[in-house]
Amino acid sequence: MKYSVNTNCLRNIFSRQEIVGLAKESNLQGIEWGLHTLENATKDAVEMTKLTLDAGLEVVSFIS
């Protein structure tokens, strides 16, 4: 079984880098990223994917 975090409740409190760090510290395997706006979704998804993969985690999904 794999565990991940949904960032909708975290994204207004923590930066993306902090969320990735918290996920690593918590021994999670992935992140389900919440998107702020559809207008910036592509740009944001690229950045979120890079941060996630660079940390050795999986991108579970993107949600809005």
Predicted confidence at residue 44, as pLDDT, reads 96
Is residue 19 classed as helix, strand or coil in its secondary structure?
Answer: helix
Number of domains in the chain: 1
Predicted confidence at residue 1, as pLDDT, reads 85
Cα gap 27→38, rounded to integer Å: 30
Q: What is the pLDDT of residues 1-56, one digit of tens each?
A: 899 999 999 989 999 999 999 999 999 999 999 998 899 999 999 999 999 999 99
Tell whether the model's pLDDT for residue 64 goes beyond 90: no
Domain membership of residue 57 as a residue range: 4-63
Q: What is the pTM of this model?
A: 0.91
